[in-house]
Chains A and B, each alone.
Chain A
Amino acid sequence: MRLRWGSNAPSPSAPFVSVCFRNSPHGSKFQKQADFSKEVRVVSDTSVILIVEDREDDILLMRRAFERASVTNPIQIVRDGEEAIAYLIGEGQYANRDEYPLPNLVLLDLKLPRKDGFEVLSWIRSQPGIRALPVVVLTSSNQIQDVNRAYQLGANSFFVKELDFQGTVDLSKLLQTYWLKKTLTPEASRPERKPRAS
Chain B
Amino acid sequence: MNDGATILLAEDREDDVILVQKAFEKGGIRNPLFVVRDGQEAIDYLTGVFPFSDRDRFPVPSLLLLDLKMPRVDGFDVLRWLRTQPNLAPLRVVVLTSSQDIRDVSKAYQLGANSFLVKPLDFHNTVAMVETITDYWLRMNLAADASAVGQ
Name A's B-contacting residues (CB within 8 A).
2-3, 5, 16, 19-21, 23-24, 27, 29-30, 33-34, 37, 39-41, 131-134, 142, 144-145, 147-148, 150-152, 154, 156-160, 174, 177-179, 182-187
Contacts and interface: CB of A to CB of B under 8 A. Distances in A.
Contacts of B118: 33-34, 40, 184
B117 A183 contact: yes
Interface of B: 86, 89-90, 100-102, 105-106, 108-110, 112, 114-118, 120-122, 124-125, 127-129, 131-132, 135-136, 139-145, 148-149, 151
Contacts of A174: 136, 140
Nearest to B129: A30
Given A2-B135, A148-B149, A158-B141, A24 B128 contact: yes
Nearest to A183: B115
A180 to B, nearest CB: 12
27 contacts: A5-B140, A20-B128, A23-B127, A24-B128, A30-B125, A33-B118, A33-B120, A34-B118, A37-B100, A39-B100, A131-B110, A132-B106, A132-B109, A134-B109, A148-B149, A152-B86, A152-B89, A152-B144, A157-B115, A158-B142, A159-B141, A177-B132, A182-B132, A184-B116, A186-B106, A186-B116, A187-B102
